[in-house]
C-alpha cells in the first residue's frame, strides 16, 4: 500500500452487501434491515488541502453541483458541529460506479469525516462520527466503523464479524438504480423473519431487493443471468452492481474478460478491515 500522507491520497473503499433482508417498515418510512457488509479493495481517492479562510470546496469530474455532494455536506457538518474555523479544499478522484449499490458516495463522505477529524483535530471518537454520518445516510456508519459487520436497524447497528475474504467479479450494467424508488415499490418484500447471526452465517444468502430491481431494470437481470453461468450471483444493496465470488484472482479475471461488451466491471479482493482504516492505523504508527 502506498504510504499515506496527511493530505492524501486517502481511500474511500466500496462495500458489498453479501445478503440483505428487509424485516419490517418503520413509522418514519425507513425500513428495518438485516445485512452483511464486507469491504472490497476497489476505492475512490480523496485529497485534502486545509485553508484558513473557512471555505469548503470540492474538485471532481462529477456533473452535478458540488454543494449537493455528500463530501461537501460531510465537511460542512463536521465543521459546524466542532466549531472549526479552518476550511478545506477536497479533490475527489472517482473510480467507483455511481448508483451501483456499492456505497461510493457514502464511503466518500465517511472518509471525509474520518480524515478531517484528524486534520482539524476534532478528537471525536468513532461512535460520535458515526452518529454524525447517520444524518447524511444509513450506509455511512459502516464505513466509519471500518470493520466487516452484521448490521441491523437501518444499517447502523453493527456487530463485528469476519466472513471469508474472497475474490469477486463485480459487474455494473450501466444503469443507475434509485434507492428510494426500490424501497417505495409496492411489491418489495417487507416481512422477512429476523434471524440472529449464528443462524444467518450458515444459511443460503439472498437479497430481498433483487427480484424487484431485476424486474424494473432488465439490464440488471441480464447481468445476473450471465454471471450465474460461472458462479452463484447476487445483487449488492439496491443495485445495480452484481457480484460473484471466486477462490482465486486468476479465476475471477478469466470470467471478467468474457463479459458482454455492454457490461463494465472489475475484479477485487474483499477485506474485513477497511482499506481506509488500514491507512489511518499506518499514520498512527508513524506518529
pLDDT tens sequence across 162-203: 999 999 999 999 899 988 999 999 999 999 999 999 999 999
Q: How would residue 207 be classed by pLDDT, with cut points 50, 70 and 90?
A: very high
Mean pLDDT, range 87-110, rounded to an integer: 94
Contact between 237 and 109 under an 8 Å Cβ cutoff? The reply is: no
Distance CA 112, CA 156 (A): 18
Buried-exposed string 112-133: b where 16+ CB fall within 10 A, e elsewhere: bbbbbbbebebebeeebbbebb
How open is the CA angle 106-177-239, to the nearest 5 degrees?
A: 70
* pLDDT at position 4: 45
Nearest partner of 263 among 230, 204, 108, 105, judged by Cα:
230
Q: What are phi and psi of 210, to 5 degrees?
A: -65, -45
Q: What percent of the chain has pLDDT over 70?
A: 97
Helix (H) or strand (E) holding 239: none
Q: How would residue 5 be classed by pLDDT, with cut points 50, 70 and 90?
A: low
What single DSSP character describes residue 273? Answer: B
Residue 81 has pLDDT above 60, yes or no: yes
Query: Residue 134 has which C-alpha cell?
Result: 447517520
Distance CA 111, CA 116 (A): 8
How open is the CA angle 190-196-201, to the nearest 5 degrees?
A: 100
Residue 28 has pLDDT above 90, yes or no: no
Distance CA 101, CA 177 (A): 8
pTM of the model: 0.94
Task: Give the chain's end-to-end CA distance (angstroms, integer).
Answer: 18
DSSP assignments along 154-209, one per residue: TTTEEEE--PPP-EEEEEE-S----HHHHHH-TTS---PPP--HHHHTTSPP-BTT
* pLDDT at position 7: 79
Mean pLDDT of the chain: 94
Active-site positions read: 15, 139
What single DSSP character describes residue 12? Answer: E
| 3-class DSSP assignment, residue 113 | helix
Residue 287 has pLDDT above 60, yes or no: no
Residue 1 has pLDDT above 60, yes or no: no
Mean pLDDT, range 225-233, rounded to an integer: 98
Output the CA torsion sign for 259, 174, 144, 32.
Answer: negative
Q: What percent of the chain has pLDDT over 90?
A: 86
Distance CA 183, CA 181 (A): 6
Amino acid at each position: 500500500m502506498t504510504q499515506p500522507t496527511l493530505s492524501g491520497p486517502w481511500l474511500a473503499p466500496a462495500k458489498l452487501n453479501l445478503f440483505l433482508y428487509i424485516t419490517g417498515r418503520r413509522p418514519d418510512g425507513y425500513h428495518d434491515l438485516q445485512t452483511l457488509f464486507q469491504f472490497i479493495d476497489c476505492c475512490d481517492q480523496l485529497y485534502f488541502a486545509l485553508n484558513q479562510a473557512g471555505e469548503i470546496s470540492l474538485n471532481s469530474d462529477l456533473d452535478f453541483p458540488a454543494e449537493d455532494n455528500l463530501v461537501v455536506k460531510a465537511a460542512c457538518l463536521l465543521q459546524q458541529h466542532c466549531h472549526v474555523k479552518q476550511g478545506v479544499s477536497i479533490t475527489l478522484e472517482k473510480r467507483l460506479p455511481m448508483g451501483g449499490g456499492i456505497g461510493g458516495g457514502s464511503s466518500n463522505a465517511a472518509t471525509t469525516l474520518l480524515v478531517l477529524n484528524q486534520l482539524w483535530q476534532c478528537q471525536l471518537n468513532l461512535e460520535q462520527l458515526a452518529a454524525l454520518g447517520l444524518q447524511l445516510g444509513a450506509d455511512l456508519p459502516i464505513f466509519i466503523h471500518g470493520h466487516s459487520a452484521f448490521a441491523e436497524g437501518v444499517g447502523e447497528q453493527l456487530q463485528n464479524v469476519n466472513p471469508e475474504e474472497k475474490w469477486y467479479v463485480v459487474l455494473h450494467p450501466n444503469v443507475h438504480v434509485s434507492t428510494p424508488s426500490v424501497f417505495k415499490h409496492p411489491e418489495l418484500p417487507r416481512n422477512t423473519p429476523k434471524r440472529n447471526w449464528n443462524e444467518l452465517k450458515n444459511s443460503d444468502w439472498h437479497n430481498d431487493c433483487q427480484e424487484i430491481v431485476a424486474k424494473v431494470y432488465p439490464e440488471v437481470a441480464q447481468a445476473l443471468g450471465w454471471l450465474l453461468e460461472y458462479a452463484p450471483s447476487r445483487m449488492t444493496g439496491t443495485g445495480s452492481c452484481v457480484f460473484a465470488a471466486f477462490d482465486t484472482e486468476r479465476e475471477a479475471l478469466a470470467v471478467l474478460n468474457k463479459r458482454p461488451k455492454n457490461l463494465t466491471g472489475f475484479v477485487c479482493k474483499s477485506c474485513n478491515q477497511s482499506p481506509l482504516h488500514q491507512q489511518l492505523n499506518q499514520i498512527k504508527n508513524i506518529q
